[in-house]
Amino acid sequence: MICAKNLSVRLAGKLIVDALSLTAKAGQVTAIVGPNGSGKTTTMKAISGEIASSGELTINGDDMRKLEPWQLAVRRAVLPQSTTITFPFTVREIVRMGLSTGLNNDAAHAQAIAAAALAAVDLEGFEGRFYQELSGGEQQRVQLARVLTQIWDPVLDGRPCFLMLDEPVSSLDIRHQLTIMQLARNYCLRGGGVIAVMHDLNLTAMFADHMVMMKRGKAIAAGAPADVLTDAAMEEVFGCRMRVSGLPAAGTPFILPQTAVL
C-alpha cells in the first residue's frame, strides 16, 4: 500500500499540492483525475520521490523518504508523460535498461522478460527498431515496457510493487488505450498496485477501482468511480455542465470504450 497523508508541494513559492491525502492499495487501480494544472503530475512526482514534499509518505509501511533510490526502484516503477532520447538506442536496448538496475542478473531470464514486456504492450518484433524513429504512441509503449521490466513480478518478498503511470494512454489510439489499461488491471489482479494520472474519464470509470479528483492542488473527492463521477463534481471540478451516463441527442454518434468486447 502507498499512503500519502497531508502531502504538500511548494514549487517556486507556490503551493501546487495542498495537504492531499491518498491511499493506493495493492490489487487496485487508483486513478488521479482533474483539470489541467490541478497538480496531478506534481502529486505523482511527489509520490514517486522525484521532488521534495512535506507530509507523510509510506510504501508498504516504510517511510519512502528514507529509502535509497535502488530500494525504491525495486518497489515501484514510474512512467513519465514523455521521454525524448537524443542517442540512437534500439527498442531492445531501452527495454533492457529497465532490467539493468533491478534484481535481474540472469541474462537469459532478462531476455525473456524483455520479450514478454514488449509483447504485453503489443510491440512484438519491434526489438531492432530505433526508438527515435517510432511514433509518439509507440515510444510511450516502449517506455511502459521498460517500466514493466523494472518490477516485472507484482509481488516481491510477499509485498506488492507499484506501477506509477503519468497519463499512460495520452498518445495512444483507442485499441491500445484498452490494451494498456487492461495490462494495468492485470498487474493488480496478480497482486501489484497501479497509480495512474488519467484524462479519459470513461477509461477511468471503466478500469479504476478507486479515484481521486483534484482541483487546485486539493483532493476534492475520493472513492469508487460510481461515487465520485457525478454531475455536481463535473461542474464543480471541471466547470462543465454535463450529465454523467446521459445519452447525446439522437443522431450524434458516440463511442464509449465501455462497449468494447475485451
Q: d(Cα 121, Cα 188) in Å, to the nearest integer?
A: 16
- Quick note: the x/- pattern for other proteins over 120-159, rule CB under 8 A, is -------xxx--x-----------------x---------
Identity at 130, one-letter amino acid code: F
**Shortest Å distance, C-beta 24 to other proteins:** 16
Question: Closer CB to other proteins, residue 50 or residue 173?
Answer: 50
Question: Closer CB to other proteins, residue 65 or residue 243?
Answer: 65
Q: Can you tell me which residue has the cell 515510444? A: 139
Q: Can you tell me which residue has the cell 536496448? A: 93
Q: Say what angle helices 107-120 and 91-100 make with each other, to 10 degrees.
A: 120
The distance of Cα 161 from the centroid of its chain, to the nearest Å, equals 13
The distance of Cα 28 from the centroid of its chain, to the nearest Å, equals 12
Residues 70, 256, 258, 260: which binds other proteins (CB under 8 A)?
70
Q: d(Cα 163, Cα 26) in Å, to the nearest integer?
A: 10
Residue 246 interacts with other proteins (CB under 8 A): yes or no: no
β partners of residue 212: 32, 222
Residue 98 interacts with other proteins (CB under 8 A): yes or no: yes
Q: Say what angle helices 136-150 and 107-120 make with each other, to 10 degrees.
A: 140
Question: Closer CB to other proteins, residue 187 or residue 229?
Answer: 187
Residue 48 interacts with other proteins (CB under 8 A): yes or no: yes
**Shortest Å distance, C-beta 234 to other proteins:** 32
Question: Closer CB to other proteins, residue 53 or residue 150?
Answer: 150
Part of the chain binding other proteins (CB under 8 A), chosen from 22-30, 48-56, 179-187, 233-241: 48-56
Question: Closer CB to other proteins, residue 11 or residue 174?
Answer: 11
Residues 13, 61, 69, 246: which binds other proteins (CB under 8 A)?
69
Question: Closer CB to other proteins, residue 110 or residue 229?
Answer: 110
**Shortest Å distance, C-beta 16 to other proteins:** 13
Residue 244 interacts with other proteins (CB under 8 A): yes or no: no
β-strand pairing of 29-33 with 193-197: parallel
Residue 85 interacts with other proteins (CB under 8 A): yes or no: yes
C-alpha cell at 244: 454523467
Q: d(Cα 123, Cα 212) in Å, to the nearest integer?
A: 31
- 222's CB contacts (< 8 A; 6+ apart) are 22, 210, 211, 212, 213, 228
- Quick note: the x/- pattern for other proteins over 7-46, rule CB under 8 A, is --------------------------------------x-
Please check whether residue 142 is in contact with residue 126, taking contact to mean a CB–CB distance below 8 angstroms: yes
User: Which chain residues interact with other proteins by CB under 8 A?
Assistant: 45, 48-50, 68-74, 76-78, 80, 83, 85-94, 97-98, 100-102, 127-129, 132, 150
